[in-house]
Structure 1
């Protein structure tokens, strides 16, 4: 239920227009703008984007939106009744705290929630006090082929025992100010890029991780890139193995110099009665025109008895493919966020989910650097208070 301070017109199940204030309109922010434009009863009233080039693109995309110079100015726009944060990773938590102190509206915040272990106590404090919904943008859950796999996994496998996620893709794209070339800004590749996959592992297996083992590093990409006299240190490949409390185990294989692949993501789940897998193509704008139409996503079910794989294609609305690089998932995520704000649905990706995804990435990077397995349940990466781990504090604040 909305708190008493929440405007009456935005409580319960009343069908009011959702009017966004946007914080950050770089590449991902503009994908959000294109998808918001496809939603009924939804608009953008104000945009805060400090970079002049990105600000001009955002103004052209949403000519009716007010371009403002700060978060405070954005929150002063009366029409704004929800927020999107799509700024660089290292700004997310401080911006959430600023919003909490001024006008705590419902927020859809891009991943990752934070970038360093010492940030976790601040996240726990925010969750305990924030009076409106906060949804963490884990788009991969909502890719149609991935959603189909999740829906059918239990029946197809008889209970998942092994889960494998492989992403073979292009290198990191150029971002404003080259902020994504440094671990200190992104949280590191296994946080920045792979928190999506760690979130999928928990979501699909319905269990929390207990142990993480990893090997990774910077092998091919960005080796000779220097910015402001500092060499890029962002990783481009890794293997990660995760043991879960349920007894299931999962593996991630990441390669960011494999853009020649037909499919970008391949996910397989296996249990005592069979296997289910999905194959997801990368962004259509990167598919070579001379090869014809881009591939269509597939879901394949392979029972043990009777043997015989069954494949079904999972086409995505071309308009949604055109609107972004995430197989339509950004649109479907906004649909669900809209329902959560209006009281006809619930927050499906909470702050605790966002914390777990980052904690798993930080543990994987620690494991890769140290050459040892990391026990998440016993090794608090970010103590909150009196020896508590962040997950305990977050659970207590729900």
Structure 2
């Protein structure tokens, strides 16, 4: 695709996150981007997306289903931001469609490892299409800076990665689909695939086994939908062992609005330590040799970001990266690919299973297709 050629996007699922993608793409209009169509069976979401697009002077073709959007032939790239449990069928329909569409799919890739594997296998048969998974936390400026510091060897060989997310409860989504494990894959898949992805990046390794403890202790206990009480956990501790000897730990709490930072990341190598704080956008790092007095503090920013949005500019950078990969297809692969999506889901599934079984779970247990 030529550098100056207009890239036409379609968005499947225009709920909260789909509209966030629409706004981000509007801020990329100077890069030759235009959204031409959307698909969503939910009329209020359609209307909100149309109002946004009208304010951008983007006329949209509206479809109630994703198959109609694909058959229209209107777009080159599809953003899949529909509910988690719909990703598998939508992705398979895209990958099996005669017309190639590049795809940015929101995390998690799918809600089960088996479905992720089927998508990965189907994508191998479509070398004419790029698929990027929406693991955009790696683009947040303080996180990206800490990744740079770690990869540069400043901290030595990484031994421990600790990620704390203390935040607000799950937001209300269309038809409250995100209140149930069967729809989301479970909290540790739905929310925490981001953090498992980051742990892999920092550790430079793949997971071997996981141990988790978690429960639904505070949130959503007084809610009932179609006679059912939500079953998503709202807090957990998760330990991960990696194949290079590194260890990771996740500390998740979703009733911790009284926090200065939503995410705190600590990476400790054999010669130093680094930390990242979101949304303060601060990075700290120091060496064992220099001690406390040698710790440096950096305020991070990325001047490429034109829109901060819901994720501190990371969604904008994610789109910028994917657009670059599309324009130089064959010379650059998506930053977060299908294997990253698969492993991040497998780690979440293993953690959920560990809570259920009360024991360590080997990652091979969930990656083994016979057990999927």
Q: What is the TM-score of this pair, normalised by structure 1?
A: 0.86
- Is 1:88 the counterpart of 2:83 in the alignment? yes
- 1:319 to partner: Cα distance: 5.2
Which of 292, 311, 314 matches 1:329? Answer: 314
Q: CA RMSD in A?
A: 1.7
Where does residue 347 of structure 1 map in the other structure? 334
- 1:177 to partner: Cα distance: 0.3
CA contact under 8 A between 1:339 and 1:346: conserved in structure 2? no
Where does residue 248 of structure 1 map in the other structure? 246
Where does residue 141 of structure 2 map in the other structure? 144
> In 1, distance between residues paired with 2:288 and 2:171?
41
Where does residue 123 of structure 1 map in the other structure? 119
> In 2, distance between residues paired with 1:71 and 1:315?
37
> In 2, distance between residues paired with 1:126 and 1:141?
26
Q: How many residue pairs are counted as aligned between the two chains?
A: 358
- 1:104 to partner: Cα distance: 3.1
Which is further off, 100-109 or 142-151?
A: 100-109
CA contact under 8 A between 2:91 and 2:119: conserved in structure 1? no
Q: Deviations over 1:138-182 (max 9, x none)?
A: 010100110000001243311211011000000000000000000
SS class of match (1:62): helix
Q: Deviations over 1:3-56 (max 9, x none)?
A: xxxxxxx3xx54321110100011111111111111121010000021111111
- 1:78 to partner: Cα distance: 3.6
Which of 61, 65, 80 matches 1:66? Answer: 61
Where does residue 44 of structure 2 map in the other structure? 53
SS class of match (2:252): strand
Where does residue 297 of structure 1 map in the other structure? 281
CA contact under 8 A between 1:120 and 1:382: conserved in structure 2? no
Unmatched segments (≥5 aa) in structure 1: 1-9, 282-295, 391-398
Residues 134, 261 of structure 1: CA spacing in aligned structure 2 closer, same or farther, 3 A cutoff? same
CA contact under 8 A between 1:121 and 1:383: conserved in structure 2? no
> In 2, distance between residues paired with 1:382 and 1:167?
26
- 1:301 to partner: Cα distance: 0.8
- 1:243 to partner: Cα distance: 0.4
Q: How does 1:102-181 map to 2 (within 5 A)?
A: 102=97, 103-131=99-127, 132-154=129-151, 155-181=153-179
- 1:114 to partner: Cα distance: 1.2
> In 1, distance between residues paired with 2:222 and 2:367?
33
- 1:76 to partner: Cα distance: 3.4
CA contact under 8 A between 1:212 and 1:364: conserved in structure 2? yes
Q: Deviations over 1:339-382 (max 9, x none)?
A: 111116321111111000000000001111111001113x2x25
- 1:316 to partner: Cα distance: 5.8
